[in-house]
Amino acid sequence: MTLILSNEEIDQILTMEMALDCVEACQLAVEADEAINSPRVDTLAPTKFGETDGVYGLKSMSGLWPAAGVAALRINSDVLIWPEVAGNIRRDRLASADGRWNGLMLLFSMETGAPIMICPDGYISRMRVGAANGLGARYLAREDSEVMALLGTGWQAGGQLMSHCAVRPIKEVRVFSPNPENREKFCRELANRVDAKLVPVESAEEAVSGADIVAAGTNSMSPVHQAEWLKPGVHLSAVKVQEVDEAFLDSADMAFLFSKNPATTRPQLYKLPSVETPEGTDGWWFKRDEPFWERLGELTQLLTGATQGRQNNEQTTVFVNNVGQGLQFAAVAHKAFQEASARGIGHELPTEWFTQDVHP
Amino acid sequence: MTLILSNEEIDQILTMEMALDCVEACQLAVEADEAINSPRVDTLAPTKFGETDGVYGLKSMSGLWPAAGVAALRINSDVLIWPEVAGNIRRDRLASADGRWNGLMLLFSMETGAPIMICPDGYISRMRVGAANGLGARYLAREDSEVMALLGTGWQAGGQLMSHCAVRPIKEVRVFSPNPENREKFCRELANRVDAKLVPVESAEEAVSGADIVAAGTNSMSPVHQAEWLKPGVHLSAVKVQEVDEAFLDSADMAFLFSKNPATTRPQLYKLPSVETPEGTDGWWFKRDEPFWERLGELTQLLTGATQGRQNNEQTTVFVNNVGQGLQFAAVAHKAFQEASARGIGHELPTEWFTQDVHP
């Protein structure tokens, strides 16, 4: 049988602690040559959704984890746009599929090749992105961090909230997004997810000033904070480098990426001049020189202890979760599969619906 | 709605003529920078199916065709073995999923991102592999080819039979496989697919001697014919280079591959020393030098007329369909989608079963 899980069912069984453990374990496995992150493939071309000019993108990423006996493939098929909101360019995905988004996760058994689980990617992806940032914070944020600023109130912001609260004793989270309704709604809806108090605030500066941890989980393609707002001892956590103020990254005492050499292929571009948009919003860091890159560490160095994390309460630190990898999906989805199977959650469909009687 | 097609339904609507047109059109589109073949990703690791030692492989390939407004992803998740049969090493896939095989095709709309069709990959794959070899034969086989040898009676052999009979006036096909039952069964089952007479024969030499076209569609990892069996004017068509006698390829007047620079990534190997098997059956051609490679042409050169095909009835020619690419699936699946939609074939499922209400 093949287990079909909904986002809501995954939400019910997958805790941030599980996601933190899974993402840590699979990164250590890659480091020990005990798992594979296969190259991610992005294919982009101009498209038109109704009257809206956008970019169609097909993305797939896969990974294989022998210790768990599984491989996973995650698939996104999206119409991307880059609107200007409150003075910033955002990267957004249209709800072009009848008001919904596409995103699928297939989990395969390495023993039989059969798909053992199929589910949407939304909840799993939010948890594994959040977990990677949470692991960074575990090594880089002050242990006594109590005040957190959360910039952004979209899907990824929820993961950032949960993961940072899971690794540090956060008491208050100051939540900012340019739209007042969005920040009120976010605080209302996510209040029961964490013990910390969620407080909507009216500006990014108000959120960030005095915060021990600043977490950005936005769609912004330009910095969402200014270096001078940040105090000594702060940890800045971002889901993409474009969110980070270049001056702050340059001045930070320690700066880490998820990976400096991620398993990706060169994006396949059809009539598009740059990786992400017709305007070329690859991010400022692609223009930086060798010394800039050499200064950056990677998450795995922290996990293995090869590089020590924060050493005192005055250091400023940065973690940028610059890339998602297929193995994270294999690890987190496998955990969800185990939990759901043990607890009888989800629906089963005959595996033969997804297999065939010919030898392709 | 998302169209679900079975292999049988695809078989009912997709003709070899359609597949030939699709594969030709998409290759010309790639050549004109009007379509994208994205890099194929192979991930392999040792596994055990019951008592059988094998190699688990996850393979994905994708392509995007703006003219048709679609992108496609093809997925295989298999347990591979390399048994010795009749003195030859074969590459085989176990029916490890409850006696069945895994292989899925997803077709996406570039306008909405939604999956518009989902189907198994078996029939589409057989048709597009056959079509590529058929296109090679259209330019390289003698126009008056009437006698064909078919080596192999497995899944791919059926595609080779149909495609060569579609492009040349074949009257008789001499079918060989080491197992007498298999060749009898093949001739019985595929008799109504082509006008030519299918004749099972007792040896590869008997099949090949005097044939105008020799088509190999086997799982063999070693040559299935000998150079000296072949007569002047013959066209040899193979689905992989391992099937071809090196001496014949060296002596042939013209030799073409599907592609010398296919869109692939380096296979990701977990505890495996070589691309295909623990024993290293990459094929002899990987050891050949630059002049060998320079001599080889590519299918697209023939399709565009950049290189002339056969010039007289005495030349010996070879076409090796050395790689499968994602764009072929986009093109052939899109044709199947159009035909099925027009004729009301297949089943529709709500697209929201494959989408989500969160922005991943």
The DSSP-derived string for A141-178 is S-TT--EEEEE--SHHHHHHHHHHHHHS---EEEEE-S
**Which parts of A83-221 are beta strand (E)?**
84-85, 88-89, 92-93, 101-102, 104-109, 115-120, 147-151, 172-176, 197-200, 213-216
Instruction: Specify the 3-state DSSP secondary structure of A197.
Output: strand
ipTM of the complex: 0.94
Does A232 score more than 50 pLDDT? Answer: yes
- Give the residue from B9, B33, B51, B62 with the most A CB atoms within 10 Å of its CB, the best one to mutate: B62
Flag if B101 and A76 touch (Cβ within 8 Å).
no
Phi and psi torsions of A166, nearest 5°: -75, -30
Asked if B264 reaches chain A (Cβ–Cβ under 8 Å), the answer is no
Instruction: For residues B139 and B151, give the distance between their C-alpha atoms in angstroms, rounded to a whole number.
Output: 21
Q: How would residue A271 be classed by pLDDT, with cut points 50, 70 and 90? A: confident
Bridge-partner residues for B320, per DSSP?
B238, B257
Per residue in B11-45, pLDDT tens? Answer: 999 999 999 999 999 999 999 999 999 999 999 99
Flag if B112 and A98 touch (Cβ within 8 Å).
yes
- Tell me what percent of chain A is helix, strand and coil, each rounded to the nearest 5: 35, 30, 35
Asked if A182 reaches chain B (Cβ–Cβ under 8 Å), the answer is no
What does the mean pLDDT of chain A come to?
A: 94
Does B278 score more than 70 pLDDT? Answer: no
Q: How would residue B287 be classed by pLDDT, with cut points 50, 70 and 90? A: confident
pLDDT of residue B296: 95
Flag if A45 and B66 touch (Cβ within 8 Å).
yes
Does A343 score more than 90 pLDDT? Answer: yes
Which tokens sit at A47? 């498209």
- Comparing alpha-carbon positions, the chain A residue that sits nearest to B103 is A355
Instruction: For residues A8 and A122, give the distance between their C-alpha atoms in angstroms, rounded to a whole number.
Output: 10
Task: Report the alpha-carbon angle B141-B218-B266, nearest 5.
Answer: 95
pLDDT of residue A267: 85
Pair A328, A159: CB distance under 8 Å:
no
Does A280 score more than 60 pLDDT? Answer: no
Mean pLDDT to the nearest integer, A40-45: 94
Which tokens sit at A105? 């996760």
- Give the residue from B37, B40, B59, B60 with the most A CB atoms within 10 Å of its CB, the best one to mutate: B60
Instruction: For residues B166 and B185, give the distance between their C-alpha atoms in angstroms, rounded to a whole number.
Output: 22
Pairing of strands A52-65, B104-109: unpaired
| Residue B308: DSSP 8-state | -
- Comparing alpha-carbon positions, the chain B residue that sits nearest to A68 is B47
Per residue in B165-215, pLDDT tens? Answer: 999 999 999 999 999 999 999 999 999 999 999 999 999 999 999 999 999
Bridge-partner residues for A80, per DSSP?
A55, A93
Instruction: For residues B142 and B161, give the distance between their C-alpha atoms in angstroms, rounded to a whole number.
Output: 16
B65 closest CA partner among B41, B29, B116: B29
Does A278 score more than 60 pLDDT? Answer: no
Q: At what angle do helices A180-190 and A155-167 cross, to 10 degrees?
A: 50
Domains and CATH numbers, chain A: 2-124+325-354 (3.30.1780.10), 129-320 (3.40.50.720)
Q: A-B interface: how many C-beta pairs under 8 angstroms?
A: 247
Asked if B126 reaches chain A (Cβ–Cβ under 8 Å), the answer is yes
Q: How would residue A262 be classed by pLDDT, with cut points 50, 70 and 90? A: confident
* Closest Cβ opposite residue A98 in set B96, B351, B360: B351
Residues of A in contact with B270 (CB under 8 A): 33, 35-36, 64, 66
Share of chain B above pLDDT 70, in %: 97
Asked if A262 reaches chain B (Cβ–Cβ under 8 Å), the answer is no
Per residue in A139-165, pLDDT tens? Answer: 999 999 999 999 999 999 999 999 999
- Give the residue from B44, B76, B124, B354 with the most A CB atoms within 10 Å of its CB, the best one to mutate: B354
A122 closest CA partner among A100, A90, A152: A100
Q: What residues have CB less than 8 Å from A288, skipping those under 6 apart? A: none
* Closest Cβ opposite residue A7 in set B112, B155, B356: B356
Q: How would residue B90 be classed by pLDDT, with cut points 50, 70 and 90? A: confident
Flag if B125 and A360 touch (Cβ within 8 Å).
yes
pLDDT of residue A96: 95
Q: What is the DSSP string of B116-183?
A: EEEEESHHHHHHHHHHHHHHHHHHHS-TT--EEEEE--SHHHHHHHHHHHHHS---EEEEE-SSHHHH
Mean pLDDT to the nearest integer, B249-278: 84
Share of chain A above pLDDT 90, in %: 83
State the amino acid at position A104 in one-letter form.
L
Flag if B38 and A268 touch (Cβ within 8 Å).
yes
Instruction: For residues B176 and B117, give the distance between their C-alpha atoms in angstroms, rounded to a whole number.
Output: 37
